[in-house]
Structure 1
Amino acid sequence: MSDNQRPVSRFPIPERLDDLPQDIRERIEKVAEKTGFIPNVFLALAHRPDEFRAFFAYHDALMERPSNLSKAEKEMIVVATSAANDCLYCVVAHGAILRIRSKNPRLATQIAANYRRAEITPRQRAMIEYALKVALDSARIDESDWQPLYDHGFTQEDIWEIGAIAAFFAMSNRLANMSALCPNDEFYTLGQ
Structure 2
Amino acid sequence: MSTIKLPENPEANPRVKAVFDDIRATRKSDFINNFWLYLAFDPALLEETWQGVKSVMAVPSALDPLTKELLYIAVSITNSCRYCVHSHTAAARAKGMTDEIYADLLRVVSTAGRTNQILNAIQIPVDEKFEADT
RMSD: 3.4
Secondary structure of residue in 2 paired with 1:35? coil
Question: Do the aligned partners of residues 107 and 31 (structure 1) sit closer, same or farther apart at CA in structure 2, a change above 3 Å counting?
Answer: farther
Q: How far apart, CA to CA, are the structure 2 residues paired with 1:144 and 1:78?
A: 25
From the CA coordinates, give the structure whose radius of gyration is larger.
Answer: 2
TM-score (norm 2): 0.69
Q: 1:79 to 1:109 in 2, by over 3 A?
A: same
What is the alpha-carbon distance in structure 2 between the residues aligned to residue 146 and residue 23 of structure 1? 48
Mean Cα displacement is larger for which, 26-35 or 82-91? 26-35
Cα distance in 1, alignment partners of residues 58 and 89 from structure 2? 17
The runs of 5 or more residues in structure 2 that have no matched partner are 121-125
Instruction: Give matches, 1:51-130, under 5 Å.
Output: 51-101=45-95, 103-106=96-99, 109-110=102-103, 113-115=106-108
Q: Extract unaligned runs of 5+ from structure 1.
A: 1-6, 118-128, 151-192
Q: 1:68 to 1:29 in 2, by over 3 A?
A: closer
Aligned counterparts of 1:71 and 1:108: Cα–Cα separation in 2: 14
Match of 2:31 among 16, 30, 37: 37
1:84/1:145 CA distance change after superposition, 3 Å: farther
1:10 counterpart residue number = 3
CA contact (8 A) 2:74 2:109 kept: no
Q: Which moved more, 1:57-66 or 1:84-93?
A: 57-66
Q: Equivalents in 2 of 1:61, 1:50: separation in Å?
A: 17
What is the DSSP-based 3-state SS (H/G/I as helix, E as strand, rest coil) of the residue aligned with 2:107? helix
| Corresponding residue for residue 24 of structure 1 | 16
2:5 match: secondary structure: coil
Structure-1 separation of matches of 2:22 and 2:66: 22
Whether the 8 Å contact between 2:19 and 2:47 is mirrored in structure 1 is: no
**Paired residues of 2:73 and 2:84 also in contact (CA < 8 A):** yes
* Matched-pair identity in %: 23
- Are the equivalent residues in 1 in contact too, given 2:66–2:97 (CA < 8 A)? no
Q: CA deviation at 1:30?
A: 5.5
Q: Which residue is equivalent to 1:166?
A: none
Instruction: Return the alpha-carbon distance in structure 2 between the equivalents of residues 12 and 146 of structure 1.
Output: 51
TM-score scaled to structure 1, two decimals? 0.51
- 1 or 2 for the larger relative contact order (CA 8 Å, sep ≥6)? 1
Aligned residues: 120
